[in-house]
Amino acid sequence: MTQADDFGFGTQIRKSPYFDATVRWGAKGFSVYNHMYIPRDFGDPEQNFWNLVNDAILCDVAVERQVEITGPDAARFVQMLTPRDLSKMAVGQCKYVLITNAEGGILNDPILLRLAENHFWISLADSDILLWAQGVAVHSGMDVTITEPDVSPLQLQGPRSGEIMKALFGDSIMDLKYYWLRELDLDGMPLVVSRTGWSSELGYEIYLRDGSKGDLLWETIMAAGMEFGLKPGHTSSIRRIEGGMLSYHADADIHTNPFELGLDRLVNLDMDADFIGKAALARIKQEGVSRKQVGLIIEGTPLNGPNTSYWPIKKNGEIIGKVTSAVYSPRLKQNIALAMVATEHAHLGADVDVVNRTGLVNEAGTERAVIVDRPFFDPKKKIAAA
C-alpha cells in the first residue's frame, strides 16, 4: 500500500483532513490547488466517470477553501465583489457567482453560501481570493471580518448520492433543494450540507467544520454508501466538460470576462450596487467581445486523457482561437472540448482545424473539428436539479 508520506513537497503544500483516508482508499496521485493537495488519480479515469454517472463517488475537495465574511456590512461587502445581483439571496441559499477585478476580468467563479444575515462563505476555485477580499476591505470603510475558517468540504456526487444522504441523515434531507444549504450534526461532527457540486450530476457538498474529524467523516460516509455502490473518486474531467463547467485557469482567467463565456446572466449592470468592475463591464457589453467560448467536437482517435496545453484552432491556415479543455467522452463516443474563438468564427456548425495532440496525424498537423453548442449532455441541468 502506498504510504501518505510518499507524497510531499514540504509543509508549504497543505494536506486536507481527508488526505490520509484518500491514500488508504487508493489515491495514487495528487495535484496542487489553492496551495493544497487534491487527489487526481484513483485508477482508471473512465471507470471513475462511470462510477459517478451510474452510482456515486466521494471526492476530497477540501481545496475549495472558504473565505468567511462576517460583520454588520458583510452583505454589502460581498455584493461589491460580484456583478451578480444578491439582493434577493436568502439565508440558507447558495449562488454561483463571479468575482471580477476593475477591468472586468474574472478572478474566481465560486459558490457563495449565505449562512446567516451577515455570515457568508465564498467556496473557492483555484485563486487567492482570501487575499483579494482582505485587500479590498482595507479601504472599503466597511465593518467586516474576513478569515479562512476551519472548513473542509467533501463532494458526494452521483445518482445514488441521495440514497446515501438519506442513510446518513434520515428522510428530512430529501427536502433540501438545489442550491440550498442546511446546518447539521452527524455523530458529533458539525457540518454544513448543500445541494451543489462540480459534476453536473445529482450531488451534495458536505462541509466539515472541525478538521480533526476528517478521517471519521470520510469513513462514516464510505460505510453508509457501501450498499449503494459508493466508490472513492476524484472530480471527473469527462463529466465536467460534458456539462460545460468551467475550470478556472483552464477555461477562464483574469483576462477573461463574463460576456466571452456567455455568462451575461451573472452580470446585472442595472442594480444600484457599485460592484468592482461595473464600469468596465458596461463598456465591454456596449462594445461587444472579440472572442467567445464555444463547444467543439474533434475528429480523430479518442484522446488519451485531457489536454495539458492549449491547442491552437485554425481557419484557412490562420489561428482563430484555442482549445482550453478537451477529453474523450466514452458515453458520447466523441472527443469534446471547450474552446475560445474569435467572435466572427463562433458559428454553430462551422468547421475548424485543431492543431492536434502530436502534430503527426497529417501533413497539416491538424484534426477537423465542428463548433457546437455546450453543454454537450443534459443542457438544462435536469439531472443535477432533480
**CATH number, position 297:** 2.40.30.110
Q: What domain range includes position 298?
A: 290-379+382-386
Distance (Å, rounded) from C-alpha 52 to C-alpha 161? 10
Side chain identity, residue 379: P
Task: Taking residues 103-111, report their average pLDDT.
Answer: 98
Question: What pLDDT is attached to residue 64?
Answer: 98
Supply the pTM of this predicted model: 0.95
Domain tally, the chain: 3
Distance (Å, rounded) from C-alpha 1 to C-alpha 351? 49
344-359 pLDDT, tens digit each: 999 999 999 999 765 4
Same domain, 137 and 161: no
Residue 30, CA distances (Å) to 36, 65, 69, 279, 363 in order: 9, 17, 30, 40, 37
Q: Is the pLDDT of residue 361 over 60?
A: no
pLDDT band of 108, cuts 50, 70, 90: very high
Place of cell 439571496: 89
260-283 pLDDT, tens digit each: 999 999 999 999 999 999 999 999
Does 91 map to a domain?
yes
Does 299 map to a domain?
yes
Same domain, 101 and 157: no
pLDDT band of 10, cuts 50, 70, 90: confident
Same domain, 127 and 178: no
Peptide bond connecting 375 to the previous residue in cis, omega within 30 degrees of 0:
yes
Does 285 map to a domain?
no
Question: What pLDDT is attached to residue 11?
Answer: 87
The CATH number covering residue 221 comes to 3.30.1360.120
Does 326 map to a domain?
yes
Question: What pLDDT is attached to residue 5?
Answer: 59
Same domain, 55 and 174: yes
pLDDT band of 4, cuts 50, 70, 90: low
Same domain, 60 and 167: yes
Same domain, 304 and 174: no
Same domain, 213 and 95: no
Does 188 map to a domain?
yes
The CATH number covering residue 101 comes to 3.30.70.1400
Same domain, 57 and 71: no
Q: What is the mean pLDDT of the chain?
A: 95
Same domain, 167 and 229: yes
184-199 pLDDT, tens digit each: 999 999 999 999 999 9
pLDDT above 90: percentage of residues in the chain: 92
Same domain, 31 and 177: yes
pLDDT band of 366, cuts 50, 70, 90: confident
- Between 304 and 182, name the one with better pLDDT: 182
Task: Taking residues 121-137, report their average pLDDT.
Answer: 98
Q: Is the pLDDT of residue 229 over 80?
A: yes
